[in-house]
Chain A
């Protein structure tokens, strides 16, 4: 590639339409082989899990894992039952949905104020929010743990009697952590909206609350959708807080329940495969169905906050 002449280089930059006509030089063949091999290697661990999840334990015991055959669906029903996946998936939903909703609500309100008004404290405020998302969670563990344990709540609210070991603790922590990230992304997005919108709204006598709710938020739909997809994935994948703030096994969301399942699954790798595929399924659905939102959320977030 590096020996390409200036002429060839110019041809290359002439746009994607020309690509089909490019000569297949040896360098190009190497490039394609490299990319195809890399892609297959990258997919392999997951495909291997899928492959073995459909195989019978006694078959793989007899023939080794590097074999073919012994297909069954049994591992899935077994993993589902042994791992109590129904309960853990439900826990994940109970924790993820309110967290995402609250984080977006709080972030969009702070983002709106920062984008709509020119207060002196705007930049500092945004810094405070963005930095909060980047702190190591371990650094907050003791005080938060103690705080949740000291707040007593009625039993109908949480049957542990305190906020510790309750869904509430996780919803609160996830909301607090993710608000910072979303606030930065949303305020940047809101700053791109034309300011005339608000001037017109002001002339029409619209209150600030209605400007936020009826003008800004509907225009932010793409950003909100991207963030929602990203946050659902992240909170579903969240491991640390659930591991340290929950104690009762039946409350763990799916990702942190993996730690408890280890003992049961690590003796039977076909079961382990099936369990892994089940846990991956929701995020894989997100990956394939909402790829555009996920990528834009991630690049927006990581390059902007």
Chain B
């Protein structure tokens, strides 16, 4: 990876790392052949055991979900009794399932807020802290402290702010809004609490990215009379392209997977519908509509796979460079 000067790897990468392919060359196949019989068994096991676990517990179940989404299995009868019903679950999702539309809207809103509010704020903090002002360590620590907390716990902690009768916001404003219960407010309350954590996360990633930006680039731009703002947008930000893409993809995936906070508040009902909570409700709830829930799960899977491939493309290409 070119830019981020990752604190951890810094000592080792002081000299250019041996490229994955560079020392391979002609000796490549020979080296593998030189492995003794027992070494060959060991290498095979070192590949096979982790692969079987990850494929068996993650990829095969994901594929199984896709297959189930074309059936009408209710989860109670035998699987062999389930009928293949084609795309019916999908058409049902889009036509006769009222919570689907709000869930999509909420997931999109989630994404937009993380993008338009949390990410720029995180970048701004990173840039300011990177200036090495007095007390920058304190600002950095304060801003990223929420990153270590679980979103479930964050839901609890913010309840102390949001509650109608005992919350601080209502006490200060003299209002009686039930921020977690009222469907006009609760998605915003959840987004605010999530952003509290996301800002610190984005800040950390960009701080690592900024440290990797060649200082002479900035200097040259400023010699040419560019202002700091210009320097950032025209020079520094474009140079951090890998980080930008990674933050983008992570934001999309995390917005799609959002679950914990909302589940702690009210299990994703009444104004807090999200795709992840709908899937969970259909599967573990009383309804037990496995085929239908799988269709929803498959939709999530498809969206995430698009962005995962973008992500892999970026990190793998960086890797080869």
A joins B in a complex: yes
> What 1/0 mask marks residues of chain A from 34 to 77 whose CB sits below 8 Å from any chain B CB?
11101110110110110010000000100011100000000000
Interface flag for B270 (CB, 8 Å)? no
A48 to B158 Cα, complex, angstroms: 10
A212 to B54 Cα, complex, angstroms: 21
> What 1/0 mask marks residues of chain A from 4 to 46 whose CB sits below 8 Å from any chain B CB?
1010011011001001000000000001101110111011011
- Asked if A180 contacts B54 (CB within 8 A), the reply is yes
Among A2, A46, A298, which residue has its beta carbon within 8 angstroms of that of B145?
A46
Interface flag for B239 (CB, 8 Å)? no
Interface flag for A215 (CB, 8 Å)? no
Among A1, A6, A110, which residue has its beta carbon within 8 angstroms of that of B223?
A6
Query: Chain A residues near B321 (CB, 8 Å)?
Result: none
Query: Chain B residues near A191 (CB, 8 Å)?
Result: 17-18, 20
Interface flag for B116 (CB, 8 Å)? no
A141 to B259 Cα, complex, angstroms: 14
A192 to B158 Cα, complex, angstroms: 43
- Asked if A207 contacts B148 (CB within 8 A), the reply is no
- Asked if B46 contacts A292 (CB within 8 A), the reply is no
- Asked if A176 contacts B125 (CB within 8 A), the reply is no
* Closest partner residue, chain B, to A14 (CB atom): B219
Within 8 A of A (CB), among B37-77: 38-39, 42-43, 46-47, 49-51, 53-55, 57-62, 64-65, 68, 75
> Which one of A49, A141, A192 has the greatest number of beta carbons of chain B within 10 Å?
A141
Within 8 A of A (CB), among B178-231: 196, 199-201, 204-205, 207-209, 215, 218-219, 222-225, 227-230
> Which one of A138, A191, A256 has the greatest number of beta carbons of chain B within 10 Å?
A138
- Asked if B8 contacts A127 (CB within 8 A), the reply is no
**A226-B257 contact given A172-B57, A303-B205, CB 8 Å threshold:** no
Among B132, B160, B200, which residue has its beta carbon within 8 angstroms of that of A45?
B160
- Asked if A128 contacts B21 (CB within 8 A), the reply is no
- Asked if A39 contacts B168 (CB within 8 A), the reply is no
- Asked if B20 contacts A255 (CB within 8 A), the reply is no
Among A49, A192, A256, which residue has its beta carbon within 8 angstroms of that of B13?
A192
Query: Chain B residues near A6 (CB, 8 Å)?
Result: 222-225
Among A36, A128, A209, A276, which residue has its beta carbon within 8 angstroms of that of B54?
A128
**A4-B315 contact given A16-B132, A134-B304, A266-B159, CB 8 Å threshold:** no
- Asked if A43 contacts B6 (CB within 8 A), the reply is no
Interface flag for B156 (CB, 8 Å)? yes
Min CB distance B120 to A, Å, is 14
- Asked if A239 contacts B151 (CB within 8 A), the reply is yes
A124 to B141 Cα, complex, angstroms: 38
- Asked if A118 contacts B150 (CB within 8 A), the reply is no
Interface flag for B1 (CB, 8 Å)? yes
**A132-B59 contact given A258-B264, A303-B246, CB 8 Å threshold:** yes
Query: Chain B residues near A135 (CB, 8 Å)?
Result: 58, 62, 301, 304, 308
- Asked if A45 contacts B161 (CB within 8 A), the reply is yes
- Asked if A48 contacts B205 (CB within 8 A), the reply is no
Which of B81-89, B93-101, B289-297 forms part of the interface with chain A?
A: B289-297
Min CB distance A102 to B, Å, is 9
- Asked if B53 contacts A300 (CB within 8 A), the reply is no
Query: Chain A residues near B28 (CB, 8 Å)?
Result: 118
Residues in chain B within 8 A of chain A (CB atoms): 1, 4, 6-9, 12-13, 17-18, 20-21, 23-24, 28, 31-32, 34-36, 38-39, 42-43, 46-47, 49-51, 53-55, 57-62, 64-65, 68, 75, 125, 128-129, 132-135, 138-139, 141-153, 155-161, 163, 166-168, 171-172, 196, 199-201, 204-205, 207-209, 215, 218-219, 222-225, 227-230, 242-243, 246, 250, 253, 256-257, 259-260, 263-264, 275-276, 279-280, 283-284, 290, 293-294, 297-298, 300-301, 304-305, 308-309, 311-312, 315-316, 319
Q: Identify 15 residue pairs between A and B in the complex whose beta-carbon atoms are under 8 Å apart, listed by A's number.
A: A6-B223, A10-B219, A39-B139, A45-B161, A46-B157, A66-B168, A110-B50, A136-B257, A143-B62, A176-B53, A193-B12, A207-B36, A212-B46, A269-B166, A303-B205
Residues in chain A within 8 A of chain B (CB atoms): 1-4, 6, 9-10, 12-13, 16, 19, 31-32, 34-36, 38-40, 42-43, 45-46, 48-49, 52, 60, 64-66, 106-107, 109-110, 112-113, 115, 117-119, 122-123, 125-132, 134-145, 147, 172-173, 175-177, 179-180, 183-184, 188-189, 191-195, 202, 207-209, 212, 222-223, 226, 233, 236-240, 243-244, 255-256, 258-259, 262, 266, 269, 272-273, 275-276, 279-280, 283-284, 286-287, 291-292, 294-300, 302-305
